[in-house]
Amino acid sequence: MTPNTSLDRPGLIAAIAAYAIWGVFPLFWYLIRDVASLEIIAHRVIWCCLFVVGYLLWRDGRRWLRDALAGRHVLRWLTLSSVLISCNWGIYIWAVTHGRVIDASLGYFINPLVNVVIGVVVLKERLNRTQWFAVGLAALGVAWLTLRFGQPPWIALALAFSFAFYGLIRKTAHVEAVPGLAIESLILVVPALGYAAWLAAQDQAAFLSGGAARDALLIVGGALTALPLIGFAFGARRIPYSLTGVLQYVAPTLQLLCGVWILGEPFVGSQLVGFGLIWLALVLYAADGLRRNRRQKQRPAAVASAWPPTRADVDAPPEPGSEAGRN
């Protein structure tokens, strides 16, 4: 097997569509901003679980769960990852429904560079000078935003770090994207159902309280959680890895544009300075990755004997760790 360097048109379309859906997600969640964030998360888990598990039963039958849990300690890792992704979803939905979409987009711009730091600290990876410079620029951008607004951009940092550690765990768990999300949903669905039932018993539930359109949106939110993931899983295996890494920035860019142009959130010059430093860091890091990728392709055929990659390499998300829990 050789590295995937060909450009598969259906795969490219699927990957772009997945990132585009993730990018405009704030507009969807904004439609149900009158619903409490915890209730939105509960219904997101419930309906996502039904949709994804149903899809896997249709595709693979009952063996999907046995196959997914075949790896060592998979259930343990996915239990931890389910906690992280539920926290990530909660912060993200709260941010969107409280007019903080720009802060949320910043989190997903920072995320790839947080992954780099985690790679150094946890996985003992080494960075070259360009990568260190990019990390330094991003840190400078965060410091600027902290000094300018009197507090760290906690929403962005919480989203970036929770998602980075989530990506690290999903890489360690050695389970594919869609079955992994299904197991995480199964782990979370019991407390989600319990919370939804408690709200109904207290007569505090927004669901089934008379708004058919709102009920439909809560149900569709679960399906929309899974659909882009399935599209991404289809596309990521059919387009070059480097292209997947570049496409990851489509989602936070669209989120930022939605926040500024459609939802009318303020974006002042001082924010542009901080964002600009982080964007420059991302450009440098991405350019360095593309340069190293070209060098690798130009190596003699003998060097390619390192292929095929391991299961961990195949199932691992792109550098941002964004495959399975993308908002």
Condensed to tens digits (0 to 9), the pLDDT of residues 231-262 reads: 887 887 777 766 666 777 888 999 999 999 99
Following CA atoms 185, 190, 192, 193 in sequence, which dihedral angle do they give, to the nearest 10 degrees? 120
Q: For 7-44, what is each residue's pLDDT tens digit?
A: 678 888 888 898 899 999 999 999 999 999 999 999 99
pTM for the structure as a whole: 0.80
DSSP string, 2-16: ----S--HHHHHHHH
Nearest Cα residue to 171 out of 213, 109, 123, 215: 123
Cα separation of 156 and 63, whole Å?
A: 39
For tokens 């679980």, what's the residue? Answer: 49
Domain ranges of the chain: 9-315
Greater confidence (173 vs 7) lies with 173
Element (H, E) at 32: none
Nearest Cα residue to 326 out of 33, 23, 32, 96: 23
Residue 107 predicted with pLDDT over 70: yes
- Rg value, the chain, Cα: 20
| Greatest pairwise CA separation for the chain in angstroms | 68
